[in-house]
Amino acid sequence: MSKSKDKRIKKYNRKRIWPSIVGLFVISVLFVGIVSASLALYTLDIIDRKLSESYNLSYKISEYMMSDGLESITQEELDQYIEISDSILAVSVLDEDKEVVWSNNTYKPNLNDSLTYFDQTDVFEDGFEVILHYDEGSVFERNGDKVEISDDFNQTLVQQLKKVNVEEALSKRNVSIFSIELWHVIQYDNYTILVLNDIVLMNNDLYMVIIIFGMMIIMILIFVIYYISSIVSVARSQHKITKILYTDMVTGGYNWLYFTKKGDKLLRRNHGRFNYAMINLRMEKYRSFCTCFGVKEGEELLEKFYIALNKNMRKKELIAHHDEADFGLLLTYYNEEDLIARIDKLEEILNAVMPNIKMYFRFGMCLADNNDHEVDSLYNNATTALELHPEDSEEKIASYDIEMKKQQLWERKVENDMDKALVTNQFKLYLQPKYSTKEEQLAGAEALVRWIHPTEGFIPPNKFIPIFENNGFILQLDDYMIEQVAIQQSKWLQEGRQLFPISVNVSRAHFTREDLAEHICKIVDKYNVPHEFIELELTESAFFDDKYVLIDTVKQLKDYGFVVSMDDFGAGYSSLNSLKELSIDVLKIDADFFRGIDSVDRGMLIVTKVIELAKKLNMKIVAEGIESREQVDFLATQDCDLIQGYYFAKPMSVDEFEEKYN
């Protein structure tokens, strides 16, 4: 699987649940933190306002006491004034020597502690200071018209608040949650006035805080519930996506994507504990089954196959539908005999699915070693073994072996080198002469290709032509050979040599294009070669592709003046109908008619009748593969026109051809 494809699949299958949970936790913590900080600031603001109120009241008391002089104040008047506020506990006046000269009750400050605080604090312009009544506390400082609370005192308040049972306090109608006593120190002329304030935080003061806190909690719960439902929805969607991603639409089981990913993981983690084998199971004649019973019934049959096979899978084994009627099976085995017996058993299981219908199965097998970690590669090898195995073989199991691997490596090398070989002219033009039967003189030649590889050396055609026919490169090679023949003919024409017709093979793949005749004309006409000296050979198998395109193309080629011949007549399932439909100029009788036979053999009788038929259709006859004098004499008596074979000359390079026929 390519990296880009694997990346896209991982994107669809990525797990998003844990990031969502982490996100929920982080957002909840931040939300609670913000709410807690807001409530703390709101509470401290309430305390700060109470402190400011107590200061203002203390300052008014000091102004009242000193407005008419300390001597004129009576205890009753002061008590009456103090009763205005419940927060005033005591008032004391100190002289310059810090001696108490007046007090409304016996609740007096600790003068030693007070003096200590007094010496450590700053005195503002209005002479106002605040001293905490407790020894471990710190002071309030007044800055302008605003009373600011120091950090040390904030910590003291927080510690006091922690000691309060808020739930118990709020359950009562209106009670004190906590209180703290403060001496306000006011310097007035030669006197120091001390006012003791009781700062009380009531439960009514925190009702708004509790309401806000409750609303925040409700919002948090709503948010958490919504987020959790979103996570559950993502999880369910993820499960559905994964199921769809890994489900085969025909069998309803796991598909090939799951098979490859899971199989790769099993092979990587195996470490030699199990012997693995990849099996390509193929139902033969599946299309015939669908034709008889219907496509839907065919897919239902494949589903039944999958269910039956899946029930017989062992632990650490896999099965998946691959393509059409092919299944991939990753099986474990003890030895090869055990594996063969297992395959036979699976075949019995498949035949039992529809016992009244005869079905045919074949198996491609590739044994994995410890270095094999890719399921696709193993399956490809098993498929290669299946396809290279003869269809008429009695053996239903085809094993992938070292020779097949060598062939695969060779095909890969050929495909890797073919484009460069074409550009660098590694493909060489060879010519095999054609002789007239009666005069036994040169009358033409056939163009053959040879590959002279820089490292492999001489490569015969049968080693690369079949590969080119399968991958389509044969089209480029044919064009190259036609051009090479045209170049050579043009060269001989310029040198004043006598020209002979040279035949060039044209692959059946070319006849899929309707402009083939014009295409060949453009190649040849670049070199100003008369068309009658270029003979185009086609194989009879091309007739069975699209005969109407072929017939039309042959007609166009003949109209352009090219000679058209049919190569290898009689090599396959030859049809006399092709001779009737195609208006060709030359008929080449396949060499197999002349191998291992003598002149009285039945093959010679067939050759005689073919020559007789071709003559009546105004065709020239070329016999190829001629290797003996007896064959030459026989063909001469049958009025064969041309002979090609080792008896007269083998294929040779252009230089050898020029030297021999100068």
Is residue 87 within 8 A of residue 57, CB to CB? The reply is yes
The reported pLDDT for the residue numbered 116 is 36
Strand 191-202 vs strand 176-188: parallel, antiparallel, or unpaired? Answer: antiparallel
Are the C-beta atoms of residues 428 and 449 closer than 8 Å to each other?
yes
DSSP designation for 247: B
Calpha distance 535→501 (Å, rounded): 6
**Average of per-residue pLDDT across 31-56:** 74
Mean pLDDT of the chain: 78
What is the rounded average pLDDT of the residues 102-122?
51
Paired tokens of 160: 């006091």
556-571 exposure pattern, b = at least 16 Cβ within 10 A, e = fewer: bbbeeebbbbbbbbbb
Reply yes or no on whether the pLDDT at 54 is more than 60: yes
The pLDDT score that the predictor gives to residue 174 is: 52
Q: Which pLDDT does position 628 carry in this prediction?
A: 87
- Quick: pLDDT tens for 285-306: 898 888 888 989 999 999 999 9
The pLDDT of residue 655: 92
CA distance 100 to 116: 17
Distance CA 74, CA 80 (A): 10
Residues with Cβ within 8 Å of residue 325, at least 6 apart in sequence: 282, 283, 286, 298, 302
Residue in 198, 179, 183 with CA at minimum distance from that of residue 100: 183
Q: Hey, what domains does the chain have and what are their CATH numbers?
A: 20-214 (no CATH), 256-400 (3.30.70.270), 418-660 (3.20.20.450)
Mark 309-335 as b/e (b = at least 16 C-beta within 10 Å).
Answer: beeeeeeebbbbbbeebbbbbbbbbee
If 0-12 CB within 10 Å is exposed, 13-18 middle and 19+ buried, where does residue 102 land? middle
Query: Cα(129)–Cα(140) distance, rounded to whole angstroms?
Result: 7
In the chain, % of residues over pLDDT 70: 74
Cα–Cα distance measured from residue 624 to residue 633, given in angstroms and rounded to the nearest whole number: 14
pLDDT at 68 over 90: no
The number of angstroms, rounded, from the C-alpha of 538 to the middle of its chain's C-alpha atoms is 45
Residue 194 pLDDT exceeds 70: yes
Whether the Cβ atoms of residue 58 and residue 164 lie closer than 8 Å to each other: no
The whole-number pLDDT of residue 34 equals 75
Summary count for the chain: helices (H), strands (E): 21, 22
Q: Report the pLDDT averaged over residues 360-386.
A: 89
Contact between 321 and 256 (Cβ < 8 Å): yes
Q: At what angle do helices 295-311 and 336-351 cross, to 10 degrees?
A: 140
Between β-strands 360-367 and 326-333, what pairing exists: parallel, antiparallel or unpaired?
unpaired
What DSSP assignment string belongs to 173-217? SS-EEEEEEEEEEEEETTEEEEEEEEEEEEGGGGHHHHHHHHHHH
Beta partners for residue 451, in sequence order: 427, 459
Distance (Å, rounded) from C-alpha 220 to C-alpha 31? Answer: 8
E strand spans, 334-424: 360-367, 397-399
pLDDT at 164 over 50: no
DSSP-derived 3-state class of residue 557: helix
Higher pLDDT, 590 or 518: 518
Least confident of 111-125, 283-297, 332-346: 111-125
> Could you report how far apart the first and last alpha carbons of the chain are, in Å?
59
Task: Give per-residue pLDDT as tens, 436-478.
Answer: 998 889 999 999 999 999 999 999 999 999 899 888 899 999 9
pTM metric for this prediction: 0.57
Lowest mean pLDDT among 53-57, 325-329, 625-629: 53-57
Q: How confident is the model at residue 244 (pLDDT cuts 50, 70, 90)?
A: confident
Q: Is the pLDDT of residue 131 over 50?
A: no
List, in sequence order, every residue forming a beta bridge with 141; answer none if it has no partner. Answer: 148
Range of weakest confidence among 239-248, 488-497, 638-647: 239-248
Give the C-alpha separation, 503 to 80, whole Å. 137
Q: Which pLDDT belongs to residue 2?
A: 47
CA atoms of 371 and 276, how far apart (whole Å): 12
Q: Which amino acid belongs to residue 162?
A: K
At 36, phi and psi to the nearest 5? -65, -45
User: Is the predicted pLDDT of residue 59 greater than 70, yes or no?
Assistant: yes
Q: Which long-range contacts (CB under 8 A, 24 or more apart) does 104-112 make?
A: 104/75, 104/78, 104/79, 107/196, 109/133, 109/183, 109/194, 109/196, 110/135
User: Pick from 612, 610, 572: which is nearest to 592 by CA?
Assistant: 572
Measured between alpha carbons, how far is 573 from 580 in angstroms, rounded to an integer? 15
Residue, of 403 and 346, whose pLDDT is higher: 346
- Which band of pLDDT confidence, cut at 50, 70 and 90, is reported for residue 345? very high
Q: Is a pLDDT exceeding 70 seen at residue 542? A: no
Residue 245 has pLDDT above 90, yes or no: no
Give the C-alpha separation, 262 to 242, whole Å.
13
β partners of residue 323: 326
Query: Closest Cα partner for 458 from 428, 498, 434, 491?
Result: 428
C-alpha count within 13 angstroms, C-beta hemisphere, residue 195:
30
User: Three-state secondary structure along 478-547?
Assistant: HHHHHHHHHHHHHHHHHHCCCCCCEEEECCHHHHHCCCHHHHHHHHHHCCCCCHHHEEEEEEHHHHHCCH
Decide which of 273 and 582 is more confident: 273
Average pLDDT over residues 338-348: 92
State yes or no: pLDDT of 179 exceeds 80. Answer: no
- Supply the pLDDT for residue 135: 35
Residue 128 has pLDDT above 80, yes or no: no
Q: Which amino acid is at 240?
A: K
Average pLDDT over residues 152-165: 49
Q: Exposed, middle or buried by CB within 10 Å (0-12, 13-18, 19+), for 623?
A: buried
- C-alpha–C-alpha distance, residues 215 and 235, integer Å: 30
Q: Which two tokens stand for residue 368?
A: 């994995």
Cβ-in-10-Å burial (0-12, 13-18, 19+) of 37 comes to exposed
- The residues pairing with 247 across neighbouring beta strands, listed in sequence order, are 254
Higher pLDDT, 145 or 648: 648
Select, from the ranges 25-29, 90-94, 232-236, 576-580, the one with the highest average predicted confidence (pLDDT).
90-94
For residues 454 and 53, which has the higher predicted lDDT (pLDDT)? 454
Position with higher pLDDT, 363 vs 234: 363
Task: Please state which of the ranges 223-227, 245-249, 472-476 shows the lowest mean pLDDT.
Answer: 223-227
